[in-house]
Amino acid sequence: MTLNSVFQFLVPKDKIFFPLFEKASANLIILATTLHEAVNASKNEREDYYIKIEELEATIEELSHKTHLELSRNFITPFDREDIHVLIKAIDNVANNMNGAASRMRLYQVEKITKSIRKLTEINLEACELIGVGISQLKDLNNIKMIKETCKKINKLESKADAVFDKAVADIFENETDVKNIIKYKEVLSALEMASDKCKSVSNILEQISVKHS
């Protein structure tokens, strides 16, 4: 048994931080689902989705704030304090970027939703669902193999999102003549692609924590 294993055995079961992580990741999945539903809805129905996305992003931000408050109040944590900080912040960053994509679609009054936008929201939804799986797996810090496999899947999705983004931007510059539309679509696509990057950041943090405490 390693020193870390002995420490984990002696430390009381965490009842503060993992529930916060789980709530944040659960809300993140709902946010990603709502965004995917929004881009598949008619333009007249999207406003309700946009409002819900804003509310979910605010909820995740509040959970991030609460996590930081709990760090200042509690001496015993399930793993390193800095890792708790960067993990909840990374989850919040995913939410911020997905909300940013929705805000741009709303602000710029994007009516026609392209296949690339739909594909990127689908990829981000799948990545967010895997983040939820990874958070659940992190409860067992000896479960490093499964966490690595989950992180690998998230990283593959990020690479897939990069390819979709590159092709979409190339298509815009090749086929779109209206400068305003070029700006609109590139802004939305960039926010969605950045959300996938932030999902990869979460996976990197999950893997680093699992390796550090295995």
Three-class secondary structure assignment of the chain: CCHHHHHHHHCCCCCCHHHHHHHHHHHHHHHHHHHHHHHCCCCCCHHHHHHHHHHHHHHHHHHHHHHHHHHHHCCCCCCCHHHHHHHHHHHHHHHHHHHHHHHHHHHCCCCCCCHHHHHHHHHHHHHHHHHHHHHHHHCCCCCHHHHHHHHHHHHHHHHHHHHHHHHHHHHHHHHCCCHHHHHHHHHHHHHHHHHHHHHHHHHHHHHHHHHHCC
- Do 28 and 95 meet the contact criterion of CB atoms below 8 Å apart? yes
Instruction: Identify the pLDDT of residue 176.
Output: 85
pLDDT band at 14 (very low <50, low <70, confident <90, very high): low
pLDDT tens, 92-118? Answer: 999 999 999 999 999 999 999 999 999
pTM value surpassing 0.75? yes
Measured in degrees and rounded to the nearest 5, phi and psi for residue 68 equal: -65, -35
d(CA 21, CA 67): 8
Span 16-65, pLDDT tens digits: 899 999 999 999 999 999 999 999 999 999 999 999 999 999 999 999 99
Q: Are 71 and 84 in contact (CB under 8 A)?
A: yes
Q: 120-129 pLDDT, tens per residue?
A: 999 999 999 9
Per-residue model confidence (pLDDT) at position 143? 76
Whether the per-residue pLDDT at 149 is higher than 70: the answer is yes
66-80: average pLDDT: 88
What per-residue confidence (pLDDT) applies to 73?
Answer: 87
110 contact partners, CB below 8 Å, separation of at least 6: 104, 184, 185, 188
Q: How much of the chain exceeds pLDDT 90, in percent?
A: 79
Domain coordinates of the chain in residue numbers? Answer: 14-212
Asked if residue 6 has pLDDT above 90, the reply is: no
Looking up tokens 């609460």 gives 66
Does residue 9 have a pLDDT over 50? Answer: no
What's the whole-number average pLDDT of the chain? 91
| CATH superfamily for domain 14-212 | Phosphate transport system protein phou homolog 2; domain 2 (1.20.58.220)
pLDDT of residue 10: 39
Q: How high is the pLDDT of residue 11?
A: 45
Residues 102, 88: contact at Cβ < 8 Å?
A: no
pLDDT in tens, 79-88: 889 999 999 9
pLDDT at 3 (0 to 100)? 43
